[in-house]
Amino acid sequence: MSEIAQKVKSIIVEKLGVEESEVTPEASFTNDLGADSLDTVELIMEFEKEFNQSIPDDEAEKILTVGQAIDFLEKNAGQAGK
Amino acid sequence: MTLRRVVVTGLGALTPIGNDVSTYWNNLAAGVSGAGPITKFDASKFRTQFACELKGVDVTQYIPRQEARKMDAFTHYALIATDEAVKDANIDLETIDRNKVGVIWGSGIGGLRSFEDEMIDYAKGDGTPRINPFFIVRMIADSASGQISMRYGFRGTNYVTVSACASTNNAIIDAFNYIRLGRLNMCVVGGSEAAVTRAGIGGFNANRALSERNSDPQGASRPYDKERDGFVLGEGAGSLILEDLDHAQARGAHIYAELIGGGMSSDAYHITAPHPEGLGAYLAMQDALNDAGIQPGEIDYINTHGTSTPIGDPQELKAIYQLFGDHSFQMNISSTKSMTGHLLGAAGAVEAIASIKALEHQLVPPTINLVNVDEEIDSRFNLTPLTAQARPLTTVMSNAFGFGGHNAIVIFRKLS
C-alpha cells in the first residue's frame, strides 16, 4: 500500500471512528462507513490539509469511496499548493 | 383552569467538587473548595491563574469518541449530567410518551473554546478559510438541548435559554410553566458551561469580575467576606427532571421536592452592575413568592447568587432585607459558589440541586471562607459561615442574576 493510501486510511479511521479493516477501497463513506454530509466535508478538508492539495468542489463531489480518494490524491501528488 | 403541580424526580451533577450528585452534596456539606491552578491552558500571563475546573472526567465513558469530537465541552457536560438525572429518575423510555417530554437547557455562553480554537487556527493561516464543518454546531448554545433530545428521543419543546448567569433558572421556570399548563408531562432542565478558556478568563479579567487571589485559590471565592475581590470561574453542569406530580405518582417515581414558584425581573439599569438598591433582585424574589402563593416568612433558606464580588453581594442582601424584613435574620442564607466557583449559565442548575439536597438532608451547606463579614453587611444575617448548619427546612429559594440585569428565582418545597 502506498504511503498516501496508508495516510488516507488513518484519517478515515480517526475521523469516522471505524475499524481499519472496514476501510476497503470499495467502501463508500456514506453507505458503508456511516459518514453524513458534514463528515464527508470534513474528510475532504483533512485530505487537503494532510497532502497540501486543494480539492475543488466539483472534484470533491466525485470522491465517494476510499479508493476514489486515494486515486485522486495519488494522481495529484507532487502538485502541492496548486 | 387548574394548574398542575410540578415535582423534581431526577438529579444529575458534574461539578468542580464532585462528578455526581452524591459526591457533590457530600463535599458541599463538608465545605470543600473546588478551586485550583488552571490546567486547561497556559494562564501564566493572565491576571487570574486559577479556576474551579472539573476533575477526572472521562468523556468517552459517556459519549463515543467520534461523536464527542463534534461537540464542545459544554455539550459533553450536559450529556454527562443528564445521563445521571435520567437514570436517577428511573424513566422507562419505552412506556412514557416521549412526545410530551421536553428539554430546556441553560448556557450563558455555549461553545467558547470551540470558537476560540477555530479562529486561532484560522488566524495562523494565510486568510483562506478552512473552517471545520462541525464548527458551528459545536459552538452554538442550543447544541446541548438538541443533543440531549437526540440521545433519548424526547420530542417535546426544545431550546436553550440565554440570560447569562440566570440562564438555568429561566430554563427551570419555562419548563415549570409548560408542565403546569399541561403542555409537557416531563422536562429535562439544567445548564452547562465550559468557559475556563483563554477568552473566558481573559474576558472576565478585563471587566474586573474575577478574583486575582493567585496565592490562595481555595480561599478566593469568599462571598460576604471583607477580603473578597471577585468571583472564581467554575465549569460543569447540573440536570434536573421536572415532572407533573400526577405523572410522577402514577409511575411510582421518587419525588425529591415540589417546584412551587418562579419569579423573574430585569434591573433595567446597567449591563454589568446590579441595581445599587437591589431593586431587580427584590422584584424577582417578590414575583417568585407571589407565584408560589406563600408569605416571605415561609422561606427557610436562600441559596443566594452571592458571587463574591465587592458590589454584588451586599446588594442582594439589601434586597432580601427589604422583602423579608426581620425574617431575613431567622432564615439561613448561604452561597455555595464559595465552594463550586461561579458556573455562569450553569450556576442556577447546580444551586437548584444544592437547594433540593439541603431539603432532603435538612442541612444548609455553608458559605466557606467567610471569616470576617464585610462591615457593609448587617451582622444579624445568618450567612452560614464556614460550616454547614442542620435545621428544619420546608421551603427554599435559589437566586440567580445575570449580566444584562436578568434576575430569575425559583422556590422548592418538601412535598406535602
What are B59-82's pLDDT values in tens digits? 999 999 889 999 999 999 999 999
Residues B154 and B102: beta-carbon distance below 8 Å = yes
Give the nearest chain B residue to A49 (CA atoms).
B130
Whether the per-residue pLDDT at A82 is higher than 70: the answer is no
Residue A53 lies in a domain: yes
Tell me the C-alpha distance between B414 and B7, whole Å: 10
CA torsion, ordered B7, B243, B6, B305, to nearest 10 deg: 70
pTM of the model: 0.95
Q: Is B139 helix (H, G, I), strand (E, B) or coil?
A: helix
Residues B195 and B233: beta-carbon distance below 8 Å = yes
Tell me the C-alpha distance between A37 and A79, whole Å: 27
Tell me the C-alpha distance between B94 and B34, whole Å: 39
Whether residues B66 and A16 touch (CB distance < 8 A) is answered with yes
Q: Is B334 helix (H, G, I), strand (E, B) or coil?
A: strand
Tell me the C-alpha distance between B36 and B220, whole Å: 10
Chain-wide mean pLDDT for chain B? 97
User: Could you give the number of structural domains in chain A?
Assistant: 1
CA torsion, ordered A39, A41, A43, A44, to nearest 10 deg: 170
Task: Note the pLDDT tens digit of each residue in B299-356.
Answer: 999 999 999 999 999 999 999 999 999 999 999 999 999 999 999 999 999 999 999 9
Tell me the C-alpha distance between B36 and B49, whole Å: 9
Residue A64 lies in a domain: yes
Q: Is B367 helix (H, G, I), strand (E, B) or coil?
A: strand
Q: Which domain holds residue A67?
A: 3-77
Residue A82 lies in a domain: no
Question: Please, which residues have CB within 8 angstroms of residue B242's CB and are 6 or more apart in sequence?
Answer: B6, B7, B8, B9, B172, B175, B176, B179, B186, B187, B189, B259
Query: Band of the pLDDT at B416, cuts 50, 70, 90?
Result: confident
| Backbone region of residue B115 per phi and psi (left: phi > 0; alpha: psi in -120 to 50; beta: other values) | alpha
> Which residue's entry shows cell 405518582?
B249
Residue A27 lies in a domain: yes
Query: Band of the pLDDT at A81, cuts 50, 70, 90?
Result: very low
Catalytic annotation present for B275: no
Low-confidence winner among B175-189, B262-276, B280-294, B350-364 (lowest mean pLDDT): B262-276
Q: Is B407 helix (H, G, I), strand (E, B) or coil?
A: strand
Residues of chain A with C-beta less than 8 angstroms from the C-beta of B134 = 38, 42
* CATH, residue A7: 1.10.1200.10
Whether residues A45 and B65 touch (CB distance < 8 A) is answered with no
Nearest residue, CB atoms, B133 vs list A17, A42, A49: A42
Query: At how many degrees (to 10) do helices A66-75 and A3-16 cross?
Result: 140
> Distance between the two ends of chain B, CA-based, in angstroms?
22
Best of A38, A51, A52 to disrupt the B interface by mutation (most B CBs within 10 Å)?
A: A38
Report the b/e string of B62-74 with b at 16+ CB within 10 A: bbeebbbbbbbbb
- Give the pairing type, strands B36-37 and B363-364: unpaired
Contact with chain A for residue B134, Cβ under 8 A: yes
| C-alpha triplet B204, B107, B227: angle, nearest 5° | 35
Tell me the C-alpha distance between B248 and B88, whole Å: 13
Nearest residue, CB atoms, B134 vs list A16, A17, A42: A42
- Alpha helix ranges (H) inside B89-236: 112-124, 135-139, 143-152, 167-180, 198-206
Whether the per-residue pLDDT at B276 is higher than 90: the answer is no
CB count in 10 Å sphere of residue B388: 19
Whether residues B134 and A49 touch (CB distance < 8 A) is answered with no
Residues of chain B with C-beta less than 8 angstroms from the C-beta of A16 = 66
Rg (CA), chain A: 12
Tell me the C-alpha distance between B260 and B156, whole Å: 22
Cell of B360: 432532603
Residue A30 lies in a domain: yes
What confidence score (pLDDT) does residue B274 get? Answer: 87
Residue A62 lies in a domain: yes
Residues of chain B with C-beta less than 8 angstroms from the C-beta of A15 = 66
Catalytic annotation present for B305: yes
Task: Note the pLDDT tens digit of each residue in B202-217.
Answer: 999 999 999 999 999 9
Over residues A35-48, mean pLDDT:
93
Whether residues B133 and A49 touch (CB distance < 8 A) is answered with no
Whether the per-residue pLDDT at B192 is higher than 70: the answer is yes
Whether the per-residue pLDDT at B158 is higher than 60: the answer is yes
Task: Note the pLDDT tens digit of each residue in B92-117.
Answer: 999 999 999 999 999 999 999 999 99
Q: Using beta carbons and an 8 Å cutoff, which residues of A are at the interface with B?
A: 15-17, 38-39, 41-42, 45, 48-49
Whether the per-residue pLDDT at B16 is higher than 60: the answer is yes
Catalytic annotation present for B327: no
